Amino acid sequence: MCGIWALFGSDECLSVQCLSAMKIAHRGPDAFRFENVNGFTNCCFGFHRLAVVDQLYGMQPIRVKKFPYLWLCYNGEIYNFKQLQKQLGFEYQTLVDGEVILHLYNRGGMEQTASMLDGVFAFILLDTANRKVFLARDTYGVRPLFKVLTDDGFLGVCSEAKGLINLKHSTALCPKVEPFLPGHYEVLDLKPSGKVASVELVKFHSYKDEPLHAACDTVETLPSVGFDLETVKSNIRILFENAVRKRLMAHRRIGCLLSGGLDSSLVAAVLLKLMKEINISYPLQTFAIGMENSPDLVAARKVAAHIGSEHHEVIFNSEEGIQAIEEVIFSVETYDITTVRASIGMYLVNKKKKKKTDSVVIFSGEGSDELTQGYIYFHKAPSPVEAAEESERLLKELYLFDVLRADRTTAAHGLELRVPFLDHRFASYYLSLPAELRIPKNGIEKYLLRESFEDSNLLPKEILWRPKEAFSDGIASVKKSWFSFLQDYIDQQIDDHLLEKAVEKYPFNPPKTKESYYYRQIFEKHYPGQSNWLPHYWMPRWVKATDPSARTLKHYKSATQE
């Protein structure tokens, strides 16, 4: 996990522009480099490094003797770089996994390069010989990427939007900053002036399709095919374990967030099992956060005791959470209600973890709810087909919500996130299953995933079958939700007349509650005029919901009262 930043065709002094690059210094606390491009005095790269793989030769931009005309600045992990080296005969000059991008590009161009990468990534590749610039981002947008491109060809690229919003340019008072679409790469011509022109934007992978790199996977072919239940459950276990195994690639200590819910508990249990198999010498550290005696803390303790992890708890009160709101909104770069609520707990646990422990590579359960239909409102889906379509929509928008939250709240503290549920191979297999298999069953969401691990003894049964609890709800007590604490505080901060005029002040995505108004106010303070980064608020479907919390839904209330 790193912070990448680059400018092409800047009209302003680069020594002034590069101050913007320092706004993402948190993403790479180990080292920083700022480098001009030979022959293009108004083009440069900035790089903040978190050294996880090849601590000696991992600085960027990456340049190797074999390809002196290629410059690569990337953020991510390429899990199949050794398999590709073996299969395609590449000769690496470093131990950096990202070096494979240079070799793939030289061998087959950008389309093959992006399609063959098994991992998470956002990168800028400069080819000075052919005067091309390439931008690319992984399928789900696990690694962030933003860009600004003006009409006269000035290009700015950064891991986070905050590194671009204050750039100066002669023809634009406030250049438009926008997220780069996941699963795409863009080709741009590089002019002698250093300015660029976009040639094409290409979608290189759809999450429903088996990825091209499956042929280079450690599990090349599944032992059984077909959709009978036992075969499906076996394949789910094989592919999920493989997803966790490949993410063990690290030279820094590995830890795991553990809420005590199904997703993070499965990740932690499989992770610890595999760490023992390959004889990793240190114990797995797991981390939970909550208010005193919250459901998540209680459940996480049970899981940690069952799997034998070195467990750490962060207990916070409502005042600590409320005090963190502004720094959280600045970090996550959004005003979405449920994202801000959930980000506070995750931000605080990562902050304490960074100070108290040495775990740097952090596993988490993001992506499972979208992939396996884990949200409570899926019980109300009109049909299996519509539930499957909703699952795909959620996956497409992950980079705006849960993946955004998970990346920013870990990166803010110089930590690296790993999310095995969003493994390309695992996810494409799960989405290939008949829609009827993936829906909630017997009143329980994610039934197929739970059933697949029923006989594994990885988790206590009460955890394996624990009902869905949103992270922002589970960290508080059942009697009073976290969002209720927030709303009680915010109700005293926002006058009724402000909310009445919200549509006039914020015509795009106007706030409808005092809580959303409060978040929007803070967002606009730090990112004025950038409300379009969030196309819409996250809300449940098929129910008459006025709040994104699962605890406001009838299904949740009836389940907790049984």
Return mean pLDDT, the chain: 92
d(CA 249, CA 361): 10
Q: Round to whole Å and give the CA distance between 106 and 90.
A: 11
Question: Are the C-beta atoms of 163 and 47 separated by less than 8 Å?
Answer: no
Binding residues for L-glutamine: 97
How far from 360 is each of 30, 199, 254, 412, CA to CA, in Å?
12, 39, 6, 12
CA–CA dist 293, 253 (Å, integer): 29
Averaged pLDDT for residues 390-404? 97
Q: Say which residues have a Cβ less than 8 Å from residue 480's Cβ, sequence separation at least 6.
A: none
pLDDT of residue 560: 46
**Angstrom distance (rounded) from CA 226 to CA 98:** 36
Superfamily, domain 222-552: HUPs (3.40.50.620)
Q: Does domain 3-203 sit in CATH 3.40.50.1220?
A: no
The 10s digit of each residue's pLDDT in 153-205 is: 999 999 999 999 989 887 656 678 999 999 999 999 999 999 999 999 999 98
pLDDT reading at 218 higher than 80: no
CA 165-168-174 angle, to 5 degrees, is 50
Neighbours of 340 (CB within 10 A): 24
pLDDT of residue 554: 58
What is the distance between the terminal CA atoms of the chain, rounded to a whole angstrom?
44
The per-residue pLDDT for range 293-332, each reduced to its tens digit, is 888 999 999 999 999 999 999 999 999 999 999 999 999 9
pLDDT score, position 343: 96
**Where are the chain's structural domains?**
3-203, 222-552
Rounded to whole angstroms, how far apart are CA atoms 120 and 335? 25
What's the whole-number mean pLDDT along residues 511-515?
A: 95
**3-203 and 222-552 share one CATH topology?**
no
pTM for the complete prediction? 0.94
**Whole-number pLDDT of residue 562:** 39
The whole-number pLDDT of residue 558 equals: 43
Query: In 203-230, which positions are buried (b, 16+ CB within 10 angstroms) versus exposed (e)?
Result: ebbebeeebbbbebbebeeeeeeeeeee
The whole-angstrom separation of Cα 114 and Cα 100 is 11
Specify which residues 294 forms β-bridges with.
Answer: none
pLDDT of 549: 67
Q: 2, 158, 216, 256: which one is catalytic?
A: 2
Asked, as a colleague might, if the bond just before 61 is cis with ω within 30 of 0, I would say: yes
Tell me whether strands 177-179 and 196-203 are parallel, antiparallel or unpaired. unpaired
Q: Which residues contact 262 (CB under 8 A, 6 or more apart)?
A: 365, 368, 374, 446, 449, 450, 463, 464, 466, 468
The better pLDDT of the pair 386, 48 is held by: 386
- For the question of residue 2 being annotated catalytic, the response is yes
